[in-house]
Each structure stands twice: as structure tokens, then as C-alpha cells.
Amino acid sequence: MGNPTDDPWWFSTTDHKKIGIRYLYTAFAFLLLGGIEALILRVQLAQPNARLLSPEAYNQLFTMHGISMIFLYAQPILSGFSNYLWPLLLGSRDMAFPRLNALSYWVFLAAGLFIYSSFLVGAAPNDGWFNYVPYANREYNPGPNIDFLALGMILLGISTTVGGINFVVTTFKMRAPGMSINRMPILIWGTLTASVANIFVIPVVSLAFFLLWLDRQFGTDFFRVEAGGQPLLWQHLFWIFGHPWVYAIILPAMGMVSDALPVLCRRPLVGYTFVALATVATMAIGFGVWTHHMFVTGLPGISLSFFSGASIVIAIPSAVSVFAWIATIWTGRPVLNTAFLFFASFIVLFVIGGVSGFMTASVPVDWQLHDTYFVVAHIHYVLIGINVFPVIGAFYHWLPKMSGRLMSETLGLWNFWLMFIGMNLAFLPMHLTGLWGMPRRVYTYGESFGWNTLNMITTIGAFVFAAGVLVFLVNVFLTLRSGRRAGANPWAAGSLEWATTSPPPPYNFAVIPTVRSRYPLWEHQLRDTPHRSEPYRGLELAKGHEALKSSTLDAEPQAILPMPHASLDPVLLTLGLAVLFVALLVHGWWVALGSGLFILGVVIHWIWPRAEFGSREPPEEEAAHG
């Protein structure tokens, strides 16, 4: 008999590993698209007064670059890793809601394609990734450009929200017996924090985009100044979402480093509790700093002071993580492989992105820095430094688990140095471009501003960086085709995902492991826990048909849940949503109605109670000593 999450059709899988890998492929594809857009922009900006792009072409490309990287790459790639790794890290069979997981992926794909399809009609979004009104209003932007974005973002919001709910429930209910919350890997903390934040803030931005769409299509007046609407309302709604989102796309990446760096330093993470708390604290404070994106909008002095203070204080939890990583290196024995280079250099890039953020947090200074290339440099140190570098490092670290094959270290070195040099060549001088006053989002600039050389250097750096990404792709391709066999635990790591084979079987673990410490596979070397974890012995649930539900804090077994079988519902629901959103875009109201009914039907089929979904009690003796 096959595995429950086995798919009779390719479309119907609910296996978190397959979904995770699809996330990784898709997000990476958007990274490449966004990268190509960036290179075109950089060619235009390499010299003053260039004429490669018209202003409108430039505006669409820079907008799509931002949207691709921030919405379609940075968060989904982390969802990919989390989807793949979570159940393995937690010693679980799958996510709490495997079908929701599939839905989350398909809707993400649909949203990405929806937004990108705007290129087909030559009307890609053109108002930057934060899409300020009134420029996004119909009066100033009559084409369908902004409608693609507004509807696409609502669609993407559905994906992120259901994904977030799944992560939260999985953390609290699907951990292996004994994995109390103080034993969870930091990646879990990062993604959990990000998911909780997303559940709160995605509705805000979805609402904002919905109101904008109403303004544009039906003449409502939420943002239309002529009718008493408020442009600043948009900015508040957007940044209440936007700032936590920035943390949502870095905290899981920081989590991956906090988990993998200690493996390569041959010791447990220094200050686990502090790092976990810092993760949560960052997000908590992160909810109170959104107006630092609005320091120049004429806010009263008192609120400037408050948000300035909060934005400076938020650096403290980051300092905790940075010193924990440095301490881990200093008190460990670093093994210098490619993954390690990415993680270690990430610490420096993180700090550069951090201190430039600290500079912008100081209001009077920000009045100068704001909207200059200094901020562009800052955001790229944050996004490339704190997201892309950990992600590439994570591929070197975990692709062996996913594929069963090791990546080439020789190509890895090329990959690392090209990316590291390219990154710093492109973006370190860019701080100076900003300090010398170059505005962001300009399609060209005059030759007498003193920015010519700096821009040329940045463009060269961008291409060097792109070469590094190319080497990475080659390396992945060769690894998947003919890489050396990795074995179950090539890095002699300590967490549960390394207890199972590489690649793991569809059911992840033959038995449900029992956990007694943070590093179950290191206990025999660390020898500092009274009880030993049992990674290879435990509950044997009906050949992967079932998963264990455990208690929220201490992970005591509570019930045994049957796993849903592969299902076509997620992909059908996504199809329905896609048709609905296209219909809304082109005002096909009857089609919209039809697809709405179709969606309703699929949802009913999805949630229809079925006997096979009943849970049962865990066996006596296991529950007793759990």
C-alpha cells in the first residue's frame, strides 16, 4: 500500500517535502526574473542620461523587480525551506494541514503568474512595491497596471495566510514527544514568529488593496483626495503590514543560520534562549515602528520621537543574535565549507544592513537619507545579506538532505566569492551614492551630480553577483544529476532531520522519535542530558498513514491523527480562485459568479466530514511515559 500523501496525479500531492521543493523552485524562478529585471535597470543606470529604457519601461521594471523579490521570492523561498524542514525538524509525519499546505503553494503560484501576466499586455505595475496613492489611483494610473497588483496581492495574501495558520498549528500540535518549546530549533521560532505576524498584518494589506481596487473600479473614495480621501491612510495601512513583513522575510532566514552555523562550529548555539526570545522580541517591537517609513510626511514631533526611539531600540534583539553567532564561532571549531562561508559572511552583511537601518532610525538624519540610494543600499543589505546569503547557504547545507547528494565545494567557493564580492562591489559604494544625494526610483540622472563612477561600479558589481548566482544554478544542476552521495548525516549534525535517510522517505520517520534535548543526535558526545532521546525507536504508526498530535508546551502525546490522502481539492480551489480573479480584473461578472459557486462547491467537498478523519487515543504506555 502506498503512502497516504502519495499522489495519484502530480497535482494532488500533499506531501510537505514535495510542496516545499515546489516552493523552492518557484520562488527561485521569481528570484531569477527579478534578477534579470535588476540587470536591465543597472544597464540603464550605468551611465548618465542613458536611453535604453523609456521612463515608463523603467518604472514598470523597477516595480516588478521589487515585487518579485519582496513578495514572490523572499517570503516564499523561506516557506519552501520551512515546509520541507519543519516536520523533519519536529519529528513529525507532515504539517498539521497537508491539504492547506498544497493550497498555499498553488495559490502562491497563481498569484505570481497573475501579477506577471501584466507584462503580456504591456501594463505591469508601475508604482513601486509600496504602491503609494494617489499615483496608484485611476486618475493618474488609468491602465490595468495597478489592478494586476491589487488583485494579485489579495490572492497572494490568501496563500500567505493559510500557510501561516498551518505553521502555527503545526508548531503547537505536531511536535515529536518530548520536544518541548524550549527544544525547538530556531528556524521554528523564526517561521512561527513570522507566521503569527503575517496572520495579523496580511488582512490589513489585503484590505488596503481591496479598497484601492474599489476606488479604481467603482469610484469609491477611500484614497481619492478630491472626495476627502486620505493618501496617508494608504501609507499607514501599507506599512503596518510592510514593516512586520520585512521581519517575516528575515527572521526564518536568521533561524536557519542559528541552526546550521552551530553544526559547522561543532557546538550547540550559544545563548539559545536569548536568541529565541530575541526573535519574538524583534517582531513585537517590529509592530511599533512602521511610521519610520513615513518620517518625512509631516508627522508631529511627538510621534516622530516615539517611532524614532522604537526604531533604535529594535536593534537590541538583533545585537543579541549577532553576538550569539560570533560567540558560537569563537567557542567552536568552525569547519570552513561553502555553507559556513555564506553563514559567516551573512553576519557581517547583517550588521551592515543593521547599522544603515540604525542611521535611518534617527529622524533628523533620515530626513536627509530618506528616498536616496542610501536606503536602496540598506534594503539590499537586508534582503540579500539577511535573506539570500542564508538561503544559498541553506541550500549547501540542506540540499544534501533533500536530494541525497552533496553539492560541489569547488563550485561552491566560486559561487560564494562571486556573490560576496559582487554584492559588496554593487552595494557598498551605493551608500555613498546615496550620501551624495542620488534619489531612488529615477530612470536616469544628469552627468553633473558626481554619481557617474559610483553607478558604473554598482552595475559591474551586479553582474559579478549574477555570475555567482549562475554558478550556483550550475552547481545545483550538477548535484542533482551526479553529486556525491550524502548519507543520512553528512555534517554530523544534531537535530532530527538528520536522523532519517537522505532524501527522507515519504513518511519521514519510520517511527515517531522521542526527544529529550535540543540536539538529539549529539547527546552521546555532549553527555549533558540525564535521559537520551530515541530518534529510532518509538510509536510505529500505521505506515505513515497517521501522525501524532501533542500538547502545546511540552509536546506530550495527545492523539493520533489520520493523514489526509492526496487530494485534488487544493489545485481545484486554486483554479477557481484564479478564474475568479481574472474575471474581476476584466469585469467578467458572470464568470466571477460561476467561479464563486465552483469555489464554494470545492470548499464543501474539502471540509465534508469523513469517517477516515477521526482521531484515536495514543497507545497507553507511550502516553504514560511521555
**561-620 binders of another protein (CB under 8 A):** none
Among 182, 331, 410, 615, binds another protein (CB under 8 A): 331
Task: Tell me the per-residue interface mask from 115 to 154 with another protein, x by CB under 8 A, - otherwise.
Answer: ------------xx---x-xx---xx--------------
Task: Tell me the per-residue interface mask from 355 to 374 with another protein, x by CB under 8 A, - otherwise.
Answer: xx-xx--xxxxxxx-xxx--
Site for another protein in 57-76 (CB under 8 A): 59
Least Cβ distance, residue 71 to another protein (angstroms): 18
Among 344, 406, 560, 578, binds another protein (CB under 8 A): 344
d(CA 35, CA 350): 21
Of the ranges 145-153, 283-291, 470-478, 521-529, which one interacts with another protein (CB under 8 A)? 521-529
- Per the CB < 8 A criterion, the answer to whether 202 and 160 are in contact is yes
- CB nearer to another protein: pick between 108 and 346: 346
Site for another protein in 390-409 (CB under 8 A): none
- CB nearer to another protein: pick between 283 and 304: 304
CA distances from 127 to 213, 388, 597 (A): 14, 25, 34
417 binds another protein, rule: CB under 8 A: no
- Residues contacting residue 108 through CB under 8 Å, at least 6 positions apart: 23, 26, 72, 76, 79, 156, 159, 160, 163
- CB nearer to another protein: pick between 114 and 443: 443
Site for another protein in 226-245 (CB under 8 A): 228-232
The string of DSSP codes covering 118-163 is GGGGT----STTTT-TTTTSTTT--SSHHHHHHHHHHHHHHHHHHH
- CB nearer to another protein: pick between 119 and 323: 323
Among 2, 8, 219, 439, binds another protein (CB under 8 A): 439
308 binds another protein, rule: CB under 8 A: yes
Look at residue 295 and give its three-state secondary structure. Answer: coil
Could you tell me how many residues of this chain bind another protein (CB under 8 A)? 95
- CB nearer to another protein: pick between 106 and 148: 148
Long-range contacts of 545-550 (CB under 8 A, 24+ apart): 545/3, 545/4, 546/93, 547/92, 547/93, 547/94, 547/174, 548/92, 548/93, 548/174, 548/176, 548/177, 548/512, 548/618, 549/173, 549/174, 549/615, 550/173, 550/174, 550/175, 550/176, 550/177, 550/179, 550/626
The string of DSSP codes covering 300-347 is -HHHHHHHHHHHHHTHHHHHHHHHHHHHHHHTS-----HHHHHHHHHH
Of the ranges 205-213, 297-305, 391-399, 474-482, which one interacts with another protein (CB under 8 A)? 297-305
- Which cell goes with 163? 500557510
Among 64, 151, 261, 324, binds another protein (CB under 8 A): 324
Least Cβ distance, residue 625 to another protein (angstroms): 27
Among 200, 210, 287, 436, binds another protein (CB under 8 A): 436
348 binds another protein, rule: CB under 8 A: yes
442 binds another protein, rule: CB under 8 A: yes
530 binds another protein, rule: CB under 8 A: no
CA distances from 1 to 94, 104, 543, 546 (A): 18, 28, 9, 14
d(CA 286, CA 290): 7
Of the ranges 105-113, 302-310, 543-551, 612-620, which one interacts with another protein (CB under 8 A)? 302-310
257 binds another protein, rule: CB under 8 A: no
Among 100, 270, 462, 577, binds another protein (CB under 8 A): 270
- CB nearer to another protein: pick between 31 and 407: 407
382 binds another protein, rule: CB under 8 A: no
410 binds another protein, rule: CB under 8 A: no
Among 121, 335, 542, 553, binds another protein (CB under 8 A): 335
d(CA 253, CA 386): 7
d(CA 181, CA 171): 9
516 binds another protein, rule: CB under 8 A: no
Among 122, 219, 437, 614, binds another protein (CB under 8 A): 437
d(CA 16, CA 6): 11
- Which cell goes with 219? 469610484
d(CA 27, CA 156): 13
Please, is 181 exposed, middle or buried when counting C-beta atoms within 10 Å of its C-beta (0-12, 13-18, 19+)?
Answer: middle
Least Cβ distance, residue 391 to another protein (angstroms): 19
Least Cβ distance, residue 503 to another protein (angstroms): 21
Residue 179's closest CA among 497, 525, 400, 621?
A: 497
Bridge partners (DSSP) of residue 546 are: 562
Of the ranges 55-63, 73-81, 470-478, 507-515, which one interacts with another protein (CB under 8 A)? 55-63
Of the ranges 240-248, 345-353, 395-403, 546-554, which one interacts with another protein (CB under 8 A)? 345-353
Residue 539 parent element (H or E): strand 534-539
Task: Tell me the per-residue interface mask from 462 to 501 with another protein, x by CB under 8 A, - otherwise.
Answer: -----------------------------xx-x-------
55 binds another protein, rule: CB under 8 A: yes
221 binds another protein, rule: CB under 8 A: no
Among 18, 267, 293, 518, binds another protein (CB under 8 A): 267
Among 89, 304, 394, 563, binds another protein (CB under 8 A): 304
- Per the CB < 8 A criterion, the answer to whether 13 and 98 are in contact is no
444 binds another protein, rule: CB under 8 A: yes
The string of DSSP codes covering 564-614 is PPP-SHHHHHHHHHHHHHHHHHHT-HHHHHHHHHHHHHHHHHHH---GGG-
Please, is 11 exposed, middle or buried when counting C-beta atoms within 10 Å of its C-beta (0-12, 13-18, 19+)?
Answer: middle
